[in-house]
Structure 1
Amino acid sequence: MFGEHELRTQFIKIADKKIHLLEDKGGIVRYRRDDFEVIIKNNGEKLKVLPAPALGYGVKLLMIKFRDPLVIPPKDAVAGFVEAPIEVDVKIGDLTIDHFILGKEKYALYGAIEAGVICRYQVSPFYTEEPESIGVAKLIVSNPSSEWKPLERVVVPIKGTSMYYENTKAYYPLLLVTLKNHSPEVNNTGRPPKEGLNAVGKGLSLPNFLMRW
């Protein structure tokens, strides 16, 4: 699924989408997905199918609401996983020849009506072990305060984020959530959530995001 594929006749299935590569005369390979087609001159380079952040119509933030609220004791932390939406880039060399969304797009308003922003939106359980979903994010939630703190959702900056993958799954970078005062602070570290993953992008940390609402 994710990774490099020979330019030869084959099907490549990614969740609910299917790519069809069809060899033609003269070293031509036809790339087809639904009603979309690209004609590729084969020079031996491989096709790359890579995960991309769920930017949808150009949003900068991803809001993941926990199916059940999380409560953290004072001076303590918990690590876990959430399901996260992803998109797919298909490339030859550095050229993107196709881009598509997996599953259904959902959006939500973050903040007040007069000052809020539209986010990509997902509802997910908080898992203590990595789920089987195609898109996953790992969070470490810490509470440095002297009081118990709840957390019902996390809002993550994703524009320009790196991504990570193995054959059948895609990962957002490790997310650190710090429950400061009344406004959780989210750090998209840019780092892989575990060892042994392939990287898309440079793995740079994004500016911290303060969840004011």
Structure 2
Amino acid sequence: MFGEHELKTQFIRVGDKKIHLLEESEGLVRYRRDNVERILKNNGEKLRVLPAPATGYGVKLLMVRFKESLVVPPHDSITGFIEAPVEVDVKIGGLVVDHFILGREKYALYGTLEAGVICRYHVGSFYPEEPESIGIAKLIVSNPTPEWKALERVVIPIWKTPMYYESSRAYYPLLIVTIRDNVPYVSNTGKPPKDGLNAVGEGLSLPNFLMRW
């Protein structure tokens, strides 16, 4: 799925999508995906199928609502994983020849009608181990306060975030949520959630996001 593919006749399945490569005459390869078609000249370079953040129509935040609230003891933390939607870039060299969304596309308003922002939206569970999903984010929820804290959702900065991948899965960078004074601070660290992953983009952190609502 993710990674490099030779420009030869083959099917490449990516989630619920299927890419069809068909060799034609004189070193030309026809690329098809749904109603998208491209003619690629084969010079020996490989096609790359890469994960991209779920920015959709250009949103900068991803809101994941937990099916079960997380409850963290005082001066303690929880580490686990959440499912997260991803998109796909198909590249040859530095050129994006196709871009598509996996699964259903949902959006929600975060905040008030007057001052809120539109986010990509997903509902999922919190897992102690990696779930069998295409898109995954590792999450550390820290409670440095002397009181118990609950977290029902997390709002993640994703605009221009790096991504990481292995053949069958895509990963957002490690996320750290720190709950202070009932306000969660979300840090997209830019760092890989585990060793051995391939990177897309530079592993730089994004500005912390304050979940005011």
- Shorter-chain TM-score above 0.5: yes
Q: Supply the distance in 2 between the matched residues of 1:149 and 1:24 (Cα, whole angstroms).
A: 61
Displacement of 1:114: 1.0
Separation in 1 of the partners of 2:120 and 2:179? 22
The residue aligned with 1:108 is 108
Partner of 1:169: 169
**C-alpha separation in 1, matches of 2:183 and 2:113:** 19
**Offset from partner CA, 1:1-35 (integer Å, 9 cap, x none):** 00000000000000110000000001100000011
CA distance in 2, matches of 1:3, 1:105: 24
4+ runs deviating over 3 angstroms: none
Match of residue 15 from structure 1: 15
1:68 aligns with 2:68: yes
Q: What is the match of residue 211 of structure 2?
A: 211
Secondary structure at the aligned position of 2:206 is classed as coil
* TM-fit CA distance, 1:182: 1.8
For 1:137, the equivalent position in structure 2 comes to 137
Distance across 1 between alignment mates of 2:108 and 2:156? 13
Give the AA of the match of 1:94: G
AA in 1 matched with 2:163: M
Hey, what does 1:124 align to over in structure 2? 124
Residue 26 of structure 1: SS of its match in structure 2? Answer: coil
1:142-178 deviations in Å (ceiling 9; x for gaps): 0000000000000000000000000000000000000
Q: Equivalent pairs: percent with the same residue?
A: 73
Cα distance between partner residues in 1 of 2:163 and 2:75: 31
Letter in 2 for 1:180: R
1:192 equivalent to 2:177? Answer no
CA distance in 1, matches of 2:205, 2:59: 18
Aligned to 2:150: 150
Counterpart of 1:56 in 2: which secondary structure? coil
Say how many residue pairs are matched: 213
* Counterpart Cα distance in 2 of 1:184 and 1:39: 48
Query: Quick one: which amino acid aligns to residue 93 of structure 1?
Result: G
1:68 maps to a residue whose letter is E
Deviations 1:15-72 (A, max 9, x none): 1100000000011000000111000010000000000000000000000000010000
Q: Which residue of 1 aligns with 2:46?
A: 46
What CA distance in whole angstroms lies between the structure 2 residues aligned with 1:119 and 1:39? 35
Match of residue 84 from structure 1: 84
CA distance in 1, matches of 2:113, 2:182: 20
Amino acid at match of 1:199: A
TM-score by length of 1: 0.99
Per-residue deviation at 1:85? 0.2
Q: Which runs of 5+ in 1 are unaligned?
A: none
Distance 2:145 2:182 in 1: 11
Whole-Å separation in 2 of the counterparts to 1:145 and 1:180:
7
Aligned residue for 2:26, secondary structure, equals helix
Q: CA deviation at 1:107?
A: 0.5
- 1: CA distance, partners of 2:16 / 2:123: 19
TM, length-normalised to structure 2:
0.99
Aligned-pair CA distance for 1:124: 0.7
Distance 1:201 1:36 in 2: 25
